[in-house]
Amino acid sequence: MQIESLKVFCDLAETESFTKAAQINGVTQSAVSQQISSLERQFKSLLIERSKKKFRLTREGEVLYDYSKKIIGMYDSLHSKLQEIKDIISGTIRVTTIYSIGLHDLPPYIKRFLKSYPTVNVHVEYRRANQVYEDVMSNVVDLGLVAYPNRDNRLEIVALRKDPLALICHPGHPFAKLKAVKLKALQGQKFICFESDIPTRRALDKLFREHHVQVQVAMEFDNVETVKRAVEIDAGVSIVPFSTVTQEVAKQTLAAVKIEDGEFYRPLAVLYKKHKVLSPAMKEFINLLKQPL
């Protein structure tokens, strides 16, 4: 019996999916099945009740899961400690991020990190916010990057910084001539929204309610890039993170206008599963993300 087999079993127990367990461990579904069968022979116990309708651990499987988590945690702690003693920063960091952070905020950080630690492999995937949480909880990735983080006692959440928001419009729009606008000015305006399950959309809806502003929802999209394209053709105005439109503003395909009523921003955070043992590389990566560039 090897540590790897116990890890595969734990990943399967947490994801309830042979496909995801295989993905996490970089093996085939067949290999996952073989390792589970090997554990069952080793302990002379049925560990999983195999049913097409529902995945469930047996009582023996639940006991093995509890002890395996402790064994894996101790092994990871040992490995991390030995790396720290040897001052080794290497390995792989699996990151999943929402599109806006991944496309606009993250690249310069990865560039700086890899310049300092060239032996570390940073693997990045782009996902919707709810999928980021799912990936972190199921151990598909090590770290998740989100805006407006949801508090969850199963997660560790590390605040990063406040990302300023700006009103964007077509350069020919009347707002483009102004240095700043009040939220009240958006009353009745055609507005390009994020889809209703996107955290930034929920935050903006709350902001409009608090200021008694009603906009006309012209279009809804699930990512900031499509929102920008709609504003560029003058289909409406929108509010997005300023960091996502710096290139368009420089090229004058979009105009960004400050909102007068206060300081408007979205909080960014990195999250990882509670009790997860962070490697030296992961710790350094998180420390870098907390720093302004």
Kindly give the confidence (pLDDT) of every residue in the chain, 293 residues in length, as a single tens digit, with 9 standing for 90 and above.
588 899 889 889 888 888 888 888 888 999 998 999 999 899 999 999 877 677 889 999 999 989 988 898 888 888 778 877 777 788 899 999 999 999 999 999 999 999 999 999 999 999 999 999 999 998 889 999 999 999 999 999 999 999 999 999 999 999 999 989 999 999 999 999 999 999 999 999 999 999 999 999 999 999 999 999 999 999 999 999 999 999 999 999 999 999 987 778 999 999 999 988 899 999 999 999 999 87
Residues 21 and 48 in one domain: yes
Give strand pairing partners of 270: 145, 158
Q: CA dihedral in degrees (8, 14, 18, 22; nearest 10)?
A: -50
Place of tokens 């920008």: 228
Last residue of a domain, one of 38, 70, 85: 85
Residues 241 and 192 in one domain: yes
Side-chain-facing half-sphere of 107: CA atoms under 13 Å: 6
Residues 140 and 71 in one domain: no
Total residues belonging to the chain: 293
CATH of the domain at 23: 1.10.10.10
Any alpha helices (H) in the chain, and if so which ranges? 3-15, 18-25, 29-43, 59-85, 99-100, 106-116, 129-137, 199-210, 224-232, 246-251, 280-289
Number of domains, the chain: 3
Q: Cβ of 237: how many Cβ atoms within 10 Å?
A: 25
